[in-house]
Structure 1
Amino acid sequence: MLEKSIDSRFLTRAGFMELFIAGVKVTHALTAALPAVILLFCLESPSSDVWHTVLGLLVFFAVLTVIMFKALGVYSEDFFSNRLRFRVMLMAWTSAFCILLFMYQGLHLLPVFSVRDLALWFFASLIMFGIERLLLLHLFRYWMDTGKYLQRTVILGFTESALFVAEHIQRNGDIRSGLIGFIDDRTERIPTELSGLPLLGNSRDLEKLIRSEQVNQVLIALPWAAEARIGGLVKRLRQMSVNVALVPDITTLRFGHNRITDVAGILMFNTSELPLKGWSPLIKRCEDLVLATVGIVLLSPILLATALAVRLDSKGPALFRQKRYGYNDRLIRVFKFRSMYVNQTDRNAERQTTREDPRITRVGRFIRKTSIDELPQLFNVLMGNMSIVGPRPHATATKAAGVPFEEAVREYSSRHRVKPGITGWAQINGYRGETDTLYKIQKRVEYDLEYISKWSVWLDLYIVFMTIPAILSTKEVY
């Protein structure tokens, strides 16, 4: 990894970020005006005076759009994150277009465009902005896969905090920081590889790496009790062209992502709060009602055909109801298409299904593999005891490697702070199907808790959009 990073320094060269952002601004300016130019071509032979007037106004509006994007944070540091950022883009573009509407309605400029033309213009540019963001994310992922980062980072000090930070960056990092290894003066007493990253040497080796521009950022993860040593290192590193950051101790790190709250004038970490508050529960409920209703209408032929196939394939009802844990650990009855023979139904999921499980019917094997058996849960959503998106509900007796889920993962019940969902963040990240190991349930809970902490309508829509490719790519579903 170090060799790839050393061979890929162009992202960190002086001025690269400024040039890259400048190119993006030009692209956004063209995107803001291009639909209007195309609409102008479609008009019936506008005069040359109209062309000159409109084009002049479009250039002004394109520049104004970039200024508005800059003011609303489109080009902030988060621009280089892995986030979709559709919401900030929608707000910025809507704000810019409102100025255009004022020019159209209040100042009577751009008379060649109708209200219909303006609507087409708005949505065409919005879609183009979204496509451009997706292409940028793809470009960032490609650069990261080839070892290119805006900052090549090392961690100084092999401590518990260092391992925590390394694992977190490897799991959640973006193009802003590429972790290439560890630095520690105790080279003879620690492994040559930690968390899949190499030990690059001691503090003298670090100075050489910095001066040869192979390292751009140093994270000091020494114990805070070693104040004198940290002070000496910071003093030396300040004399070089490198960013330096102090890593908090492990206790602070575990709660560092939490919101800071003011209690009687003292700043404290708010370690737990309601996951959905204010208008969020109402917004999510409206989202659920709309998506579930649309889903039932669009999928009704599949629902009816599946019900008929289940009845014809084996004796028994088409639907199966199973008790599962829902919001606040309350038991709910979840609807599914029956996929097992009636006399072998496992109502509490005491025994997980396996490959070639004799309890599963022919139709059941197909609908489980494709998750069609879960579609009746759309009615659970309408009833209000489930959401479209959320942690998947588990049956009361499910186990991972013979261990009940709540014993396998200490934070397991924390996922029940929101309604369970038909699909979820864990499912689209590859943790769908059999949980035959402790690691799988631990990762599933980890993703569920991450979803709860980061919930937004945009995240829900992204998860819904990514569910189908996730289903097609998952093999371990029996």
Structure 2
Amino acid sequence: MRTAIRQPAGRNFADVDSMLARLLDVMLIALGAALASFALTPHAGLSIFEGAFVAFDMAFAILLLPWFGVYDSWRGRSKWRLATNIVFGWIAVQICGLAMLFLLHRAASVSRLWCVSWTAITAVGLVASRLLVHAVLGRLRRAGGNLRLVAVVGAGAHRDRVIANIVRSPDAGFRAVATFNTRQARECDFPGLPSFGRLREFAEWVRREQIEEVWLALPMSEEDTVLRILDEFSGDLVNLRFIPDVRSLAMFDRNVIDLVGAPAINLMASPMTPYALIQKALFDRLFAAAALLALTPVMLSIAVAVKVTSKGPVLFTQRRKGADGRVFRIYKFRSMREHASRPGVVRQATRGDPRVTRVGAFLRRTSLDELPQFLNVLRGEMSVVGPRPHAIEHDDQYRSIVDGYIHRYRIKPGITGWAQVNGFRGETDRIEKMQARVEHDLYYLRNWSFGLDMRIVFATVVRGLRHRNAY
């Protein structure tokens, strides 16, 4: 049994960094409270109860923020996800602080305006401090500092893709320095990197050069190779990371979950956790209610315009499939003249379609015809952001010929989505167009975050979903 021969460089520094980050967060919480008080009452300062509120939050921050992973290593991980975790962690801290004041019957003694201002200022400060630190680290890493050296195990296209990702992401702080070619007789070595064909020689080089990371870029079928690597480095303090080739798995979830007491990875399941679904549903209802209140004059004007310019009802309804394939009726402002259609056949609108009215053409081009779908959101049938629902006839047509199409049913359909803000909307007269749309929908499912939803909503409002394919 080989004994550990070294302590990984940077572990002690990581502990110090974590302590400094916690201290900085506590200071920012106190500073945010002081700034909010100064902005509202420059000469009054904090009351004794507001000071107690701040003290409670500083203590809760030390206890709760680690649960949100904000002090973990975020090297190579999404900074948007980090910012979201920080904001929700801070909100949880504030809720606990308010609960303490409520239990002490002192909640009424705290200024609500000051509390809201403090919450916003501190949230901005916490996120900005993290982004600033990572920006400084990014510049340092691009200059060749604060790097972790990586030896990659594998062969072929998947290994080359992993190494290329390392090269394209210098801010992440990794540098590929060697490979262990598991198929040397059949696959070429990666150009520019030293390559090994024998495991023992590779392992000795990793120890001699004090390489911190060994990444296994292997198919999941190569269990024997994975076990050999694990056995070889079982006595070394080297980070072994398995990066399986999962290109054929449309809904692979990279997170490990606890399932009846055993670790499990979802190869094909919804990536949305119950907590995420509750968070998304709460946002949907609040946003839809606010949108309907704010847009009531606009929607009434559109309803009048539709009614007086063509015969027929104001709203058009159609059966669509939602989450888990459940059928519901979607609402739209009618944009076409009444016409006869063949049962089971849905004809998509085309450029210059004579069925589309003048008002309808404007509504479709600007997506104002979709506004009644906020009613579907309030009813729980749709989300503000998600894959756009298609006619059931199109679902039946495409689910058997478009890869991954069925996975669009794993969450509620949306009024807008990642595909739409990237230009994939309107007529899908070729399979390639639908495939591209579905690929964007699957990207959204795999990478969902509250921050991504906000980006899509913002892009939708800014662009107005104006696109040449909308007719």
Q: Report the TM-score, using the length of structure 2 for normalisation.
A: 0.66
1:157 alignment counterpart: 154
Which residue of 1 is the match for residue 28 of structure 2? 31
- Of residues 55, 60, 67 in structure 1, which corresponds to 2:62? 67
Task: Tell me whether 1:424 sits opposite 2:386 in the alignment.
Answer: no
**Within-5 A mapping of 1:214-225:** 217-221=213-217, 223-225=222-224
Of residues 80, 83, 86 in structure 1, which corresponds to 2:84?
86
Aligned residue number for residue 8 of structure 1: none
CA apart distance, 1:243: 3.7
**Structure 2 residue identity aligned to 1:259:** I
Q: 1:98–1:232: structure 2 CA closer, same or farther, 3 Å change rule? A: closer
2:401 to 394, 404, 408: 408
For 2:86 and 2:365, how far apart are their aligned partners in 1?
Answer: 37
Confirm or deny: 8 A CA contact 1:322 1:335 kept in the other structure.
yes
What does residue range 232-381 of structure 1 map to in structure 2 within 5 Å?
234=233, 243-247=239-243, 257=255, 259-262=257-260, 287-311=283-307, 316-343=312-339, 350-354=346-350, 359-381=355-377
Cα distance in 1 for residues equivalent to 2:315 and 2:225: 64
- Write the letter of the residue equivalent to 2:196: S
Structure 1 contact 184–201 (Cα < 8 Å) conserved: no
Q: In structure 2, how many angstroms separate the alpha carbons of the residues matched to 1:324 and 1:171? A: 41
Offset, 1:336: 1.6
CA RMSD, Structure 1 to Structure 2 (Å): 5.8
Partner AA of 2:372 in structure 1:
P
> CA separation of 1:331/1:145 partners in 2, compared to 1, >3 Å: closer, same or farther?
farther
Structure 1 residues 426 and 142: alpha-carbon distance in aligned structure 2, compared to 1, 3 A threshold: farther
Structure 1: gaps spanning 5 or more residues: 1-11
- Structure 1 position 385, deviation (Å): 3.4
Q: Against the structure 1 CA distance between its residues 436 and 217, is the aligned structure 2 distance closer, same or farther, given a 3 Å change threshold? A: farther
User: What are the Cα deviations for residues 199-222 of structure 1, in whole angstroms up to 9, with x where unaligned?
Assistant: 745238999997999986331235
**Structure with larger RCO (C-alpha < 8 A, sep 6+):** 2
Task: State the Cα distance separating 1:23 from its structure 2 match.
Answer: 6.8
Q: How many residue pairs are counted as aligned between the two chains? A: 448
TM-score by length of 1: 0.66
- Mark the CA change 1:293 to 1:124 in structure 2 (over 3 Å): closer, same or farther: closer
Q: CA deviation at 1:477?
A: 3.6
- What code does the residue aligned with 1:290 have? L
User: Contact 1:325 / 1:396 at 8 angstroms: preserved in 2?
Assistant: yes
Maintained 8 Å contact 1:337/1:376? yes
Aligned to 1:95: 93
Give the distance between the partners of 1:380 and 1:447, measured in 2 at CA: 23
Cα deviation code 1:433-463 (max 9, x no counterpart): 4445545534544554565677777765665
Q: 8 Å contact 2:138–2:171 — kept in the other structure? A: no
Change (3 A) 1:220 1:166: same
Partner deviation per Cα, 1:39-88 (whole Å, 9 max, x = no partner)? 258657569xx99x999999977964663465444312358732155355
Distance 2:140 2:353 in 1: 41
CA contact (8 A) 2:216 2:226 kept: no
After superposition, the Cα gap between the structure-2 partners of 1:173 and 1:56, relative to the gap in structure 1 and judged at 3 Å, is: same
- The DSSP-based 3-state class of the residue aligned with 1:77 is coil
Q: Distance in 2 between the 1:219 and 1:354 partners?
A: 50
Task: Give the letter for the 1:407 counterpart.
Answer: S
5 Å matches for 1:116-155?
Answer: 116=112, 118-120=114-116, 122-129=118-125, 132=128, 135=131, 139=135, 151=148, 153=150, 155=152
Which digits, 9 at most, give the CA deviation of each residue in 1:175-199, with x for residues without a partner?
3768799763767954688xxxx77
SS of residue matched to 2:400: helix
Taking the aligned partners of 1:356 and 1:88, their CA distance within structure 2 comes to: 50
Specify the alignment match of 1:5 in structure 2: none
Matched residues in 2 for 1:425 and 1:410: separation? 18
Moved more, 350-359 or 368-377: 350-359
> 1:56, 1:377 → 2: CA distance?
46
Asked if the contact 2:178/2:194 (under 8 Å) is kept, the reply is: no
Q: Partners of 1:329 and 1:323 in 2: how far apart?
A: 11
Counterpart residue type for residue 223 of structure 2: W
| 1:391 alignment partner AA | P
* Shift, 1:423, TM fit: 2.5
Query: What amino acid sits opposite 2:128 in the alignment?
Result: E
Unpaired segments ≥5 residues, structure 2: 1-8
User: Could you tell me how far 1:31 is from its partner in structure 2?
Assistant: 2.7
Q: The residue matched to 1:225 in structure 2 has which SS?
A: helix
Q: Decide whether the 8 Å contact of 2:367 with 2:465 is kept in 1.
A: no
Q: How does 1:198-237 map to 2 (within 5 A)?
A: 200-203=193-196, 217-221=213-217, 223-226=222-225, 230=229, 234=233
